[in-house]
Amino acid sequence: MQRRAFLTGAGLAAGTALILPGCGKKTEIVETGGLPEVRWRLASSFSKSLDTIYGAAEVMARRVAAITQGRFQIKVHAGGEIVPGLQVMDAVQHGTVECGHTASYYYVGKDMAFAFDTALPFGLTARQQNAWMYAGGGLALMRELFARYNIIQFPGGNTGVQMGGWFRKEIKGLADLQGLKMRIPGLGGQILAKLGVVPQTLAGADIYPALERGALDAAEWVGPYDDAKLGFHKIAPHYYYPGWWEGGPQLSFYVNLDKWKALPEPYQSAFEVACAEANAIMLAEYDAKNPEALMRLLGQGVKLHAFPAEVLQAAREAAFQLYDEEAARNPGFAKIYTEWKRFREQTLQWFKVAEASYANFLYFSR
């Protein structure tokens, strides 16, 4: 490839300078001074069928290539192509791949504090998560944890509040949760277990057959757009909201710290800004696609229900009990939890004022 030109001001070593005519001030186009061709592999945790989530990595990679005029190329690999979807963290940590796209709460088995990088039940909404990450100290706090795993991470998408999943029978109160076999992984499953649910962890493709043969009574996935593709509504018609275990789950891009430090600074900037773009666009995609998917589902006989208040209240109590227990035995978790809780409390107070009253009026008064 030929040497490409960058506009001045990019902080690049100057080579040959060309003067463009027509401007009052002289505008220079400067040779890049030999920025290298870089080829990275990205391991995604997700399959291509989750096009909105998987697609965020492609949005990011395309933007990086465009900004660097094709010199920095990132090839996106779906879950299972290089490593299984749940081993992305290990693959990035050990340099099997330079970077990855995943959900940090998959790794709560290593340290429950990784959940703060995605979502905790009854935690932050997408906007609040962004506020905590970009402007509330969350990103720096989480990077201390990730650095111990030789990784630097960047927010990389959000689904917004998820749905509470598909149930074969109605849930009228806590009694209906006893012995209920539900596909719900992670901390949401641990909390529901305290309320009598028997949580199951199944990959997306295995959920429908398990529901069909009665091995599952309920299953949560994402929201209308993704759920409709898997057809749960045909066998478990009661669709509950909200998915309180995922009030604004954030996806993340991971980069191996050694590879990051070796990356030329303009490429680091390109990567960072492309992650921020992917972060914004994923949420926009969901907010645009979920409404029409929900309308379609309702047209097919789906019955929408809110979780009963006693279920939400008991689940919230169990959630904070779980966090307090973890904080008592895990000082790293306790440090982030203290900051997160303080931020959460403040942001809830603020959102209660203008946001909630505006939303209430807008949504419920016609």
Q: Which positions lie near Ca ion, rule CB under 5 A?
A: 162, 246
Minimum distance, C-beta of residue 56 to Ca ion, in the bound complex (Å):
16
Question: Can you state the angle between helices 309-329 and 186-194, rounded to 10 degrees?
Answer: 110
List Cα–Cα distances, 22 to 1, 5, 25, 230, in angstroms: 29, 19, 9, 58
Cα separation, 205 vs 231, in Å, equals 11
Question: Please, which residue, 162 or 190, has the CB nearer to Ca ion?
Answer: 162
Minimum distance, C-beta of residue 221 to Ca ion, in the bound complex (Å):
6
Question: Nearest-CB residue to Ca ion?
Answer: 162
Cα separation, 76 vs 14, in Å, equals 33
Minimum distance, C-beta of residue 266 to Ca ion, in the bound complex (Å):
37
Cα separation, 301 vs 239, in Å, equals 11
Question: Please, which residue, 89 or 187, has the CB nearer to Ca ion?
Answer: 187
Cα separation, 356 vs 264, in Å, equals 44
Question: Please, which residue, 35 or 211, has the CB nearer to Ca ion?
Answer: 211
Minimum distance, C-beta of residue 118 to Ca ion, in the bound complex (Å):
10
DSSP line for 128-176: HHHIIIIISSHHHHHHHHHHTTTEEEEEEEE--SBP-EEESS---SGGG
Question: Please, which residue, 153 or 162, has the CB nearer to Ca ion?
Answer: 162
Minimum distance, C-beta of residue 105 to Ca ion, in the bound complex (Å):
10
Question: Please, which residue, 164 or 264, has the CB nearer to Ca ion?
Answer: 164
Contacts of 99 (CB under 8 A, 6+ apart): 40, 41, 42, 43, 74, 92, 253, 254, 255, 256, 259
Minimum distance, C-beta of residue 109 to Ca ion, in the bound complex (Å):
18
Question: Please, which residue, 87 or 162, has the CB nearer to Ca ion?
Answer: 162
Residue with tokens 């919230």: 316
Q: Are strands 38-44 and 218-219 parallel, antiparallel or unpaired?
A: unpaired
